[in-house]
Homo-oligomer: A and B are copies of this chain.
């Protein structure tokens, strides 16, 4: 039950939490969980400019949350670990519950 050492919390923050710091990156993670994709396919499917997607993917790649694989001139991105989505889903569930309890108190 002890707090993890500060170095480990910084690791957690730098590698995962910071990567989740933009809603578009969360959207990209969910999209890649649904199916690995080319950069252009992601951009089309999510309605974002290609450079924007590429920049966000770089952030995710630098933090080792996605992996890449060449396919001719294209690059296929995929999630490095399904559990990232599980964790996001759990956060959504916690949020739902918290907001639910909160609205009950207010009523």
Contact = CB atoms under 8 A, between A and B. Distances in A.
A18 B16 contact: no
- Stoichiometry, as copies per complex, reads 2
A91 interface: yes
Nearest to A10: B23
Contacts of A21: 13, 17-18, 21
A27 interface: yes
Q: Classify the secondary structure of A's interface with B.
A: helix
Contacts of A43: none
Contact of A8 (B13, B22, B90, B92): B92
Closest CB pairs A-B (n = 8): A3-B30, A17-B20, A13-B23, A83-B94, A21-B21, A16-B91, A9-B26, A10-B23
